[in-house]
Structure 1
Amino acid sequence: MNLIQNLIVNLLRVLETIVLIQCLLSWFIRDGRNEIMNGLKTITNPILEPFRRIQERFFGNMNIDLSPLLAILVLQFIRRTVVMMF
């Protein structure tokens, strides 16, 4: 892998990990003033919001947020595509 490809792949892995961590922590930390959760939401909201809109459009108001799952799947697809391209 060249440097740019390696950088993109690692960035996508970090984003996948951050989305997963934020998702798991959201089950335990419900305080809206928690600095860790607010920091994670700052990073993940731009990634998750498009998937939340898609979920709301096609499935209506569900009790479960599938956007982290969808985001991780898309990030993995992009990562694998980048690996195959170079």
Structure 2
Amino acid sequence: MIKKLDVVAAIIERDGKILLAQRPDHADQAGLWEFAGGKVEPGETQPQALIRELREELGIDATPGVYIASHQRDVSGRRIHLHA
């Protein structure tokens, strides 16, 4: 059975530059580049999850902007549904 994950990501642009982070060597999908974000917890909306993740990962208080798109893919036995 495939585990389903609902994930949010922020595309943060400033002065024509986009913020990305590289996954650590010990992490799943090591070395890949990603946007800031993370898993939506039970009972959370996607905007709430994004606000929480940006606070946890970057120490910033953010206001989610415009929804861009969703994408779904299967990775390592998981179905990841990404919302940006």
- State the TM-score, normalizing by the size of structure 2: 0.27
Bigger relative contact order, structure 1 or 2 (CA pairs below 8 A, ≥6 apart): 1
Relative to its length, the structure with more strand (as a share) is: 2
- State the TM-score, normalizing by the size of structure 1: 0.27
Over alpha carbons, which structure has the higher Rg? 1
